[in-house]
Amino acid sequence: MKTRNGNKWCLLAAAVALATWATAAQEAYRVDDKSLLNGGKTGDEWLMNAGDYAQKRYSPLKQIDASNVKRLGLAWYYDTGSLPGTLEASPIVSNGTLYGTVTWGVVFAVDARTGKELWRWDPQVGHQNFPPGSAGDPNKVRTGPSLCCGPGNRGVAVYGGKVYVGTLDARLVALDAKTGKVAWEVQTADKNADYSITGAPLIVKGKVIIGNGGGEFAVRGYISAYDPETGKLIWRFYTVPGDPSKPFENKAMEVAAKTWSGDGDWWKLGGGGNPWNSISYDPQLDLLYFGTGQAGPWVQKYRSAMGKDNLYICSIIAVKPDTGKFVWYFQTTPGDEWDYDSISDLVLADLRIDGKVRKVIMQAPKNGYFYVLDRKTGKFISGAPLQKITWAKGLDPKTGRPIINPEAHFGTTPVIIWPGPGGGHVWQGMSFNPQTGLVYITPGAATSFSYIQAPEFKPELGAYNWGIIFRDASGRGTGPVAAGANGAPRPPPPPPTPPAGNFLFGWDPVTETERWRAAATGGGGTMTTAGNLVFAASNAGDFEAFSADKGEKLWSVKLLQGFANPVTYMLDGKQYVSVLAGRNKGRVYTFVLDGTEPIPASAAAAPPPPPPAGTAPQAPTNQNQQ
């Protein structure tokens, strides 16, 4: 009897222990600060937008390598049901679930093994703004955000059982990772202001870091940190100064204000400088890095005295993640008039330069140069042109400050400048492979643009506040339309970089030279692996793999046109490669060695919903902008 009861107690104890272990195991799988610090080290998961805090987009996985990549086949696909627009998100893979976003900020979660949908969440963002000319009219109601360049979204962050996403109407939303139900949401900007969020959040030291877009509408840029459990604002760092008659938020803004003085009322316009994309973090130096966009309006005389730097537009900025305290900056394009955002990926690496290992931060912004900086101090190490550049004659070899071509400052007579506002490299992720020491960048083409001032400029809420005139293919100007005149139709955005001439190249950041080039590639971002591979895409819809050391094309498959950034992960002993593609009804495609799923036929394009009466449609998608 005693033995039997003892067995019962043993069984009960075992059951309790098993339940406790299961609960503990479940808790252990919750993404925490340690998980993120180790993100990218094993390659099993893809926990951040760029794979790790250093934004390398590199995976140590090598089950798929240069010798067997030709065996890649489709494992599964997921029809996202997205509305027309560019898909830009890097999927996040955690706990066997793949999370992603599509146009208009819709979030989805699917089984990373099969592609089966687990849940889907729609932020219910209005698809039209109020008509231009309605500023100050109480009878006109805003039904959607003002968007620069289409309804894109570049992804989510995962942490503590939640999924975090920014919306086009500037909300930061926390979703339950298992159900997709809203845990909390906070308005990060006045909902009646022209702010939007298209970039992915980053979790650093238990804080949700997020920037915003809106520079095309001349709002004042800033980056913020929020509590992941409550959504409470912890700190905020503005990127351009406010009203100089009021106390400055910090010393950095006081210094910046001196570079904006003049006749222009920049604090009334906003000033721009929005950090709408890249955020990275160095745990050893405890520095958070982010890039800022162009000023608003584009034409400097409409915002400030000519010849001023206008800090901190078009800059790389380092702050302390706990407080947002300013540490250093490096400005790639002082006084920018050409829309040369510095929001591209900020890649951290340790490079041997002149016989010494340097902790560097690298960026290829829209102005056409490739920069290598000391990431502790922000000091310039080197810089070199990636393509044709006419706005500057070169970089000062000591400071990295551009030697601006005086002829690049345009007036009411058209001036053709290389590159144009589409830039040579924008949001498409670049990757760095520590084995080869190369950076992989695409698209690698740049186009020119004819810049011309609008003779008059009057800012208007909800309209593009560029201060320039756009010209159509016939050379005719759009006149005051682009100047933001009241009552005028909404102007078109800057044209995207055309497919012709795009290429992928392997760039040596130490010698600042091109090691290899793959032509006709440049339809999305890149990802590189320890298997001596680089994954990229073409504008024609080809998803491709190249050898990382030599740039030899090893594999290609035809998918939908319009690619985001690929990722890779390991489940059940199998390495998978996933990518979002498609400008109409997009898909997630996931590949594995010897995958046998047939490539699905292209989905028919879904027409956009008709705008309600009395509203103006949003601008068409431009993949090279915010």
Write down the residue that tokens 């979204």 correspond to.
Answer: 153
Bond preceding residue 443 cis, omega within 30 of 0? yes
Active site residue 339: yes
Distances (CA, A) of 158 to 75, 175, 248, 359: 24, 9, 34, 28
101, 91 Cβ separation under 8 angstroms: no
184, 167 Cβ separation under 8 angstroms: no
Q: In this structure, what token pair is assigned to residue 532?
A: 């001596």
Of 206, 163, 168, 205, which is closest to residue 188 (Cα–Cα)? 168
Distances (CA, A) of 231 to 101, 120, 188: 21, 21, 10
Q: N- to C-terminal Cα distance for the chain?
A: 75
Q: Which residues contact 116 (CB under 8 A, 6 or more apart)?
A: 110
**What is the per-residue burial (b if ≥16 Cβ within 10 Å, else e) of 243-279?**
eeeeebbeebbeebbebbebebebbebbbbbbbbbbb
* CA dist., res. 191 & res. 296, Å (int): 19
Q: Which residues contact 174 (CB under 8 A, 6 or more apart)?
A: 162, 163, 164, 182, 183, 184, 185, 208, 228, 231
Side chain identity, residue 568: T
Residue 27's Cβ-side half-sphere holds a number of Cα atoms within 13 Å equal to: 6
**What pairing do the DSSP bridges indicate for beta strands 527-529 and 58-59?**
parallel
Q: In this structure, what token pair is assigned to residue 409?
A: 């400052």
Q: In this structure, what token pair is assigned to residue 435?
A: 């084995």
CB atoms within 10 A of CB 52: 22
Question: In the 8-state DSSP scheme, what is residue 5?
Answer: H
* CA dist., res. 189 & res. 66, Å (int): 47
Instruction: Report angle CA 206, 207, 209 to the nearest 5 degrees.
Output: 145
* CA dist., res. 338 & res. 340, Å (int): 6
Sheet holding 315-319, edge to edge: 279-282, 287-291, 315-319, 326-331
* CA dist., res. 124 & res. 611, Å (int): 15
Q: What are phi and psi of 266, to 5 degrees?
A: -60, -30
- What length is written for the chain? 626
Q: What are phi and psi of 231, to 5 degrees?
A: 80, 10
**What is the per-residue burial (b if ≥16 Cβ within 10 Å, else e) of 495-530?**
bbbeeeebbbbbbbbbebebbbebebbbbbbbbbbb
Within the chain, how many helices (H) and strands (E) appear?
5, 39
Q: Which residues contact 349 (CB under 8 A, 6 or more apart)?
A: 54, 56, 360, 362, 432, 434, 509
* CA dist., res. 337 & res. 303, Å (int): 11
Active-site option among 194, 339, 341, 549? 339
Q: Active-site positions?
A: 339
